[in-house]
Structure 1
Amino acid sequence: MQFKNPEVLYFFALLIIPILVHLFQLQKFVKIPFTNVAFLQKIQQQTRKSSRIKKWLILASRLLLFSAILLAFSQPYFSDKNIDKKQHTFIYLDNSLSTNTKGEKGNLLKIAAQEIIKSSNEKGIYSLQTNTNFYKDISKNELKNILLKVENTSKKLDLSTVFLKIDQQNKNKTNTLYKSILISDFQDTYESKFTNVTPSFSAIKLESSQKSNLSIDSVFVSNANTTNFIINAVIKNQGEAKNNTPIAIFNNENLVSKQSFSIGKDTSKTIQFTIQNQDTFLGKIQITFSDTFKFDNTYFFSINKRKKASVLAIGNKADFLSKIYTEDEFNFTNSTIQNVNYNAIPKQQLIILNSLENIPEILAQSLFDFSKNGGSLVIIPNEKSEVNSYNSFFNKLQIGKFQNKIIDTLKITSINYNHPLFKNVFSKKVNNFQYPSVYSLYPISSKNSNTIISFENNTPFINELKNNIYYVSSSLAKTNSNFLNSPLIVPVFYNFGQLSFQFPQLSYRVDAENKIGIETQLGKDEILTIANNKNSFIPLQQTFQNNIVITTKEQPLEAGIYKILKQKDTLQNVAFNFPKEESSLQYLDLNTLAQNNKNIEISSSIPATFNALNKKNEVQWLWKWFLALAIVSLLLEILILKFYKP
């Protein structure tokens, strides 16, 4: 038993007063003379004994009366928690796309929301975290209104953010008991987020009743020519084999082609569609199949008229560059240093300084402006480069110090496979290729560089400096290096050109950072917007000399085809799809997780968790019973005084 006002119990010391009064109170008997009282001696003794019993009964009833009153004012109760402490319940409800599926009782998210509403306590204080919003210190009624409107979202919330919210709640308030409940399907992408310092919480797993799913994983184009091209849709199957599944491709909601396919258990398969060549194709591929998730049965993509990147090489004519930067993909120009068209420099996306002995001041200034406006630059030294001239240029760009020539035979042995330059170039790491060599080099000292390819002594051969500036530390002349004969030459320089301009992809992912280059110029106060029939938003945009780079991340959150608009003019179309990770049917084993993490408690269901919490927080007040006991004690004393005649 606990007390809300335990200080009242000190008044029990005052009970000594009625005890003393009763102990020292003397009963005086009135003497009445009789002629013969010998036969009354026994009656007199019995009367005195009865009076003494009555006195003790009255004392007991009064002590009981005062004790009951004191206990009633101290407000006793039975509970597992201290009444002075408030109870705060933190709820994380995973409303990601993967919870938009059917469980045993119905839609996982909707049923979870209903069970929280039904099981929560009227007197409780709650904080609700969803994948999109955080609601702090709300009542049950407010919690109900929010849960009734909660919808699935493509936004995935990192669990580290959830744990940070829990820690903040625990630190910001004193004299408060906390309970944290995480309600999710716990896809296996969460596993690395749990550690021994993870805050304590109860985990409730939302489970789908279906264990099979088909999804369109990706789409790519192949065998493009003047008449047609092939659209390849990669289909991923999780679960049992499936036969005669319909799949169709649309162009701007118009059916183009339809077929059916069969796929084996837990495998992937590529379905091909041959499409007549056209400048713009607003594509949608759709599978007709009832499975765990519906959102991944549709895939959007867009094919826009491809614009060529402009590449300018300054220096002596280099055949390898003209072979890499072909006419069908690039606008390539080679110019000697004497014949440079300085008016054309701002219109380029990539400029290659190919084996210049020195860099004139007028060219250095033009290249500085070009780089400052977002242009990409590749610097290849000459075997006889003038160190002072290059250093003056490097100082202007603030990319480091050009050092003296080193004559040494070094093999090119290491590749940074994680660099964007080699994205999708290698299917696996290559360790046995024929290493090219150089016989001399001009190293640079730079604090902010990212090595792309390095020598056997770990010094950089090609590295990326700031602002998309790439430096090749050795001349590529055949008398100095055989790198031109290496298979690396093509992907390296080809991707220099590709990365210099962010060409629109077939599709992008929602809730991810995407950079899209738009070849246009904006007037004063003009902006680009992205819109479809339902939504529109203004993306982050960076203006350069001849193009705009827009960045999307927080928006859009819905899959579909969108237009990039300059006022009312459509510059190009872009497609967005939901994250493919949401299609996974791989989930965490919470029992194993709880064994490895002492702070994790597994709960069987939402009602069971809240009922246990409510029962734990339930307070059984006893003051009414003690007040009733006081009244009974008072009545008992009255009855004793009135009817007990000694």
Structure 2
Amino acid sequence: MQFKHPEILYFLFLLVIPILVHLFQLRRFKTEYFTNVRFLKELSIQTRKSSKIKKWLLLATRLLLLACLIIAFAQPFFKAKDSQHSGNEMIIILDNSFSMQAKGSRGELLKRSVQELLEDTPGDQRFSLVTNTETFWDTDIKSIQKDLQNLQYSSTPFQLDFLLTKIETKKHNVPKDIFIITDAVNVQSKNLEKLSENSPVYYWIPSAEHKNNVSIEGVSISGQSETFYEIKVDVKGYGELENDIPMSVYNGKNLVAKTVVKLEDNKKSVQFNLPKKDFHGYVAIEDNSLNYDNSYYFSISKPEKSNVIVIGENQKNNFLSRIYTSDEFNLTTTELNGLDYNTIEKQDVIILNEIKDIPQALTTTLKAFYEKGGNVVLIPSAESTTQNLNAFLGNFSGIQFGSLQNQEKQITKIAFSHPLYQTVFEKRTDNFQYPKVNAAFSVNSNASPVLSYADQSFFLGSATNKIGNLYVFSAPINKTNSNFQNSPLIVPTFFNMGQNNQKTGISAFIIGENQNLVLDALLSKDEVVTIANDDSDFIPMQQILNNKIKLTFGDYPEQSGNFSVMKGKEVLKKISFNHPRTESNLSLTNDNIFDNFTSVTSVESVFNDIHSARTGNEVWNYFILATLLFLVLELLIQKFVK
């Protein structure tokens, strides 16, 4: 037992006073005997004995009464069980990722958690609150009430290790109580490595009533005709799904298609036909779980002609003029000695068709062209030296050629998932007429194979810098060396290599993946472009590349939707953004990850637990009660003891 005011215990010396009074009252008297008073003598002896007992009882009672009163004023208490952490600062970590949109017994998990924080956090409690995107240092619940009520769901995943690092940077070597509120979706054990053993950790995992969810994973063009795009919408389900899912397609605010999706094996690809013109809208489904993955925004620009230049002998270039027709391409064919270098930066695709020797000037120009988002296609010549080819390729990728091998090889494997062929084949097939080559260069490469030989080396490989593409053939494809020009593969291969992805196809970027966009635009020195819609706008990172501009989006925008690339009031391009689908699978909850820490079931319980564990047990009130009891006892002794 300890005392808040131990100095008051010095007053226990006052106990001497009743003892002195008692001794004064019990001093001895001399006995005098008188004749004929024998019976009075016996009565006097009995009375004296009774009076002595009464005085001893009163002394004991008064001593105890006074002692209890003095001890009560000294305020005795028993030390708290967790007194060593009584000075800790409270840190609350609140998960506001998209998975917290799931519905529990009392509504959406995040909204329920915020409501409990507002209702059950003591008004005088100081704390710091950290979410996936927001931080509030050294505050109280009243000061951040509006901020919590307006807290939005974040596409940033719940990265506990990152949040703990942020907290430790701000509160280095400060003793802390850490209270974690999360649904534990996608939380890994490595995220807990930075939790200090000296910091008590409490966790609350609000759970969803149902783990079922349906997500739109992506939208792509699966085919096209002269007048229509065939759009493929990939839908994925999680959990046990029984009901059909309504799906709608909107161009702006106008409904253009509607259907019902029944998921088979929890996944489905739904086809829509859209007119071959500008589209700026979204596809949406309806389910009773997460909302963020129920819409997928995408934009399609009216096809623009791609500018293609083929450098090589005119006789060898003829087959390409039959692929790059004037209705979809602006084709220029030229021999190397007649090349106008000033026209290269205006092109979308440059094809080097069996040039015997690639000059250094052309290599330097094409390297800059590739870095600005252009596509480069290399078809080697049998007369080329490996030194010249490798000197050229060294500026683009790690592809390196070996010697030319005069050995017939069949092209037996197609990378159906490669972007060149994603919209070409309705289904995979291994039963097709294999093209062949009579001679090919050996290759040493980390390039992505597009078409491969039976020995797994590539006939056509690709590399990318995310805005431009390099396509490399390992063999000449003239009719003397190969029958590839007669193969059904040649048209989709060269046609898709000739397309500029920035001008055609679907514009749908994933927020946070730091993707790039290259546009044809002339900007003055201080001019910038903005990305805007009706609700928000931001200025992306931008790099001027002569007559083009490269935009990098980073972690913006904060919300998914349809946007426009604006140069002042001029719309350069319509684009769309979507959040990554990293939170869609609610079954990835790791309920056991916090087993080594203290589990609580509500906000109220964590504050109650901390208060009870760190508050000393005061017992002064018991001594006041004892004082009153001894006072009553003294009165009873005075009255009834003779």
TM (norm. structure 1) is 0.74
Contact preservation (8 Å) 1:251, 1:283: yes
Q: Does 1:162 align with 2:160?
A: yes
**What is the deviation of 1:345?**
1.5
Structure-2 change in CA distance of 1:52 and 1:622 (3 Å): same
Per-residue Cα deviation, 1:229-272 (whole angstroms, up to 9, x for no partner): 556666777733449x6x765544356x5666574776646364
Confirm or deny: 8 A CA contact 1:201 1:601 kept in the other structure: yes
Whole-angstrom CA distance in 2 between matches of 1:11 and 1:321? 104
Check conservation: 1:380, 1:475, Cα contact below 8 A. yes
Decide which moves more: 433-442 or 299-308.
433-442
Tell me whether 215-224 or 556-565 shows the greater mean CA deviation.
215-224
State how far apart, in whole Å, the 2-side matches of 1:531 and 1:94 are: 25
Tell me if the contact between 1:421 and 1:496 (Cα under 8 Å) persists in the aligned partners.
yes
Q: Which runs of 5+ in 1 are unaligned?
A: none
**In structure 1, C-alpha distance between the alignment counterparts of 2:604 and 2:71, rounded to whole Å:** 40
Q: The residue matched to 2:621 in structure 1 has which SS?
A: helix
Q: What do the CA deviations read for 1:432-460 (whole angstroms, capped 9, x no partner)?
A: 9859566452657x9xx645467788877
Q: 1:622 aligns with which of 615, 618, 621?
A: 618
Taking the TM superposition and a 5 Å limit, the aligned residue runs for 1:349-428 are 349-371=348-370, 373-386=372-385, 389=388, 397=395, 405=403, 407=405, 409=407
Q: Secondary structure at the match of 1:367?
A: helix
Contact persistence 1:125–1:138 (CA under 8 A) = yes
Partner of 1:598: 595
Structure 2 CA distance for partners of 1:133 and 1:416, relative to 1, 3 Å:
farther
Quick one: which of 298, 301, 304 aligns to 1:304?
A: 301
- More displaced 10-residue stretch of structure 1: 174-183 or 556-565: 174-183
The aligned counterpart of 1:523 is 524
Q: Counterpart in 2 of 1:147?
A: 148
Contact kept in structure 2, 1:214 and 1:236, CA below 8 Å: yes
Structure 2 contact 311–334 (Cα < 8 Å) conserved: yes
SS at match of 2:311: strand
Is 1:313 the equivalent of 2:310?
A: yes
User: Secondary structure, in 3 states, of the residue corresponding to 2:116?
Assistant: helix
What is the DSSP-based 3-state SS (H/G/I as helix, E as strand, rest coil) of the residue aligned with 1:141?
A: coil
Whether the 8 Å contact between 1:531 and 1:562 is mirrored in structure 2 is yes
Q: CA shift at 1:532, angstroms?
A: 1.9
Q: Is the 8 A contact 1:218 1:233 kept in 2?
A: yes
Structure 1 residue matching 2:299: 3-state secondary structure: strand
Residues in 1 aligned to 2:528 and 2:629: alpha-carbon distance in whole angstroms: 85
Taking a change above 3 Å as real, the CA distance of residues 178 and 458 of structure 1, as seen in their structure-2 partners, is: farther
Residue of structure 2 in register with 1:240 after alignment = 242
Amino acid across the alignment from 2:90: H
Query: Which amino acid letter does the alignment assign opposite residue 111 of structure 2?
Result: K
Rate the CA distance shift 1:128–1:627 in 2: closer, same or farther, 3 A: same
Q: Aligned to 1:180, what secondary structure does the other structure show? A: strand
Bigger drift between 487-496 and 539-548 goes to: 487-496
- How many residues end up aligned between the 2 structures? 617
Aligned-residue CA RMSD in angstroms? 5.2
- Cα distance change, pair 167–542 in 1 and its aligned pair in 2 (3 A): closer
Residues 546-596 of structure 1 deviation map (CA, whole Å, 9 limit, x = unaligned): 3223233433334443221111111222234555566x5753466xx42x7
Give the structure 2 partner of residue 91 of structure 1.
Answer: 93
Q: Determine the C-alpha separation between the residues in 2 that align with 1:54 and 1:532.
A: 91
Show the counterpart of 1:348.
347
Q: What is the CA distance between 1:530 and its match in structure 2?
A: 1.6
Q: Which amino acid aligns with 2:299?
A: S
Q: 1:438–1:30: structure 2 CA closer, same or farther, 3 Å change rule?
A: farther
1:253 is matched with 253
Distance 1:295 1:18 in 2: 76
Q: CA deviation at 1:536?
A: 1.8
Q: Tell me, in whole angstroms, the C-alpha distance in 1 between the residues paired with 2:252 and 2:191.
A: 48
Contact 2:160 2:187 in 1 (8 A): no
Aligned residue identity for 1:546 = N
Residue 332 of structure 1 aligns to a residue whose secondary structure is strand
1:54 shift after superposition: 5.5
Hey, what does 2:575 align to over in structure 1?
A: 574
In the superposition, relative to structure 1, how do residues 65 and 597 fare at CA in structure 2: closer, same or farther (>3 Å)? closer
Amino acid at match of 1:587: S
Counterparts of 2:390 and 2:268, CA distance in 1: 54
User: Which residue identity is paired with 1:556?
Assistant: P
Instruction: Kindly state the Cα deviation for residue 45 of structure 1 after the two structures are TM-superposed.
Output: 6.8
Compared with structure 1, are the counterparts of its residues 144 and 398 closer, same or farther at alpha carbon in structure 2 (3 Å cutoff)?
Answer: closer
User: Mapping of 1:332-347 within 5 angstroms?
Assistant: 332-347=331-346
For residues 46-66 of structure 1, the C-alpha deviation after alignment (integer angstroms, 9 at most, x for no partner) is 766666665555554455455
Structure 1 position 132 matched with structure 2 position 130? no
Q: Is the 8 A contact 1:518 1:547 kept in 2?
A: yes
- AA partner of residue 142 (structure 1): S
Q: Deviations 1:514-566 (Å, cap 9, x if unpaired)?
A: 43332222221111112222322212223323322323343333444322111
What is the letter of the counterpart of residue 165 of structure 1? L
The answer (yes or no) to whether the contact 1:99–1:206 under 8 Å persists in 2 is: no
Q: Is the 8 A contact 2:202 2:606 kept in 1?
A: no
Relative to structure 1, is the Cα distance of residues 483 and 10 closer, same or farther in structure 2, using a 3 angstrom cutoff?
Answer: farther
Matched residues in 2 for 1:441 and 1:254: separation?
Answer: 54
Give how far 1:149 is off.
Answer: 1.9
Q: C-alpha displacement at 1:493, in angstroms? A: 4.7
| Of 553-562 and 615-624, the range deviating more from structure 2 | 615-624
Is the 1:198–1:599 Cα contact (8 Å) retained in structure 2? no
**Are the equivalent residues in 2 in contact too, given 1:68–1:630 (CA < 8 A)?**
no
- Say if 1:138 and 1:495 are closer, same or farther in 2 by CA, change over 3 A: farther
Alignment check: 8 A CA contact 2:249 2:282 kept: yes
Amino acid in structure 1 at the alignment position of 2:242: E
- Partners in 1 of 2:457 and 2:219 — Cα distance? 39
AA aligned opposite 1:405: S
Q: 1:613 to 1:55 in 2, by over 3 A?
A: closer
**In 2, distance between residues paired with 1:20 and 1:430?**
110
Quote the offset at 1:315 in angstroms. 1.9
Distance 1:336 1:291, change over 3 A: same
Q: 1:253 to 1:115 in 2, by over 3 A?
A: same
Q: Secondary structure at the match of 2:162?
A: helix
Cα separation, 1, equivalents of 2:250 and 2:203: 46
The equivalences for 1:5-16 within 5 A come to none
CA contact (8 A) 1:120 1:610 kept: no
- 2:441 corresponding residue in structure 1: 441
2:198 is aligned to none
Cα deviation 1:294-327 (Å, max 9, x = unaligned): 6666554433222233222222224554455444
Offset of residue 84 of structure 1: 2.8
CA distance in structure 2 between the aligned counterparts of 1:429 and 1:19, rounded to whole angstroms: 105
Contact 1:195 1:597 in 2 (8 A): no
- 1:463-496 superposed Cα distances (whole Å, 9 cap, x missing partner): 6387755554544455556666777766665554
* Preserved contact between residue 349 and residue 375 of structure 1 (Cα < 8 Å): yes
Query: 1:98-247 alignment to 2 at 5 Å?
Result: 99-100=100-101, 104-151=105-152, 153=153, 155-159=154-158, 161-166=159-164, 169=167, 172=171, 176=175, 178-184=177-183, 190=186, 202-207=203-208, 218-220=218-220, 224-227=224-227, 239-242=241-244
**Helix, strand or coil for the counterpart of 1:124?**
coil
Is contact 1:510-1:578 (8 Å) kept?
yes
CA deviation string 1:106-139 (max 9, x = no partner): 4554343222221223343444344432333432
How far apart are the structure 2 equivalents of 1:421 and 1:88?
55
Deviates more, 1:349-358 or 1:26-35: 26-35
SS in 2 for 1:145: helix
1:303 and 1:456 mapped to 2: Cα distance? 38
Tell me the secondary structure at the aligned position of residue 112 of structure 1: helix
- What are the ranges of 5 or more consecutive residues in structure 2 without an aligned counterpart? 196-200
Question: Alpha carbons of 1:443 and 1:580: their partners in 2 closer, same or farther (altered >3 Å)?
Answer: closer
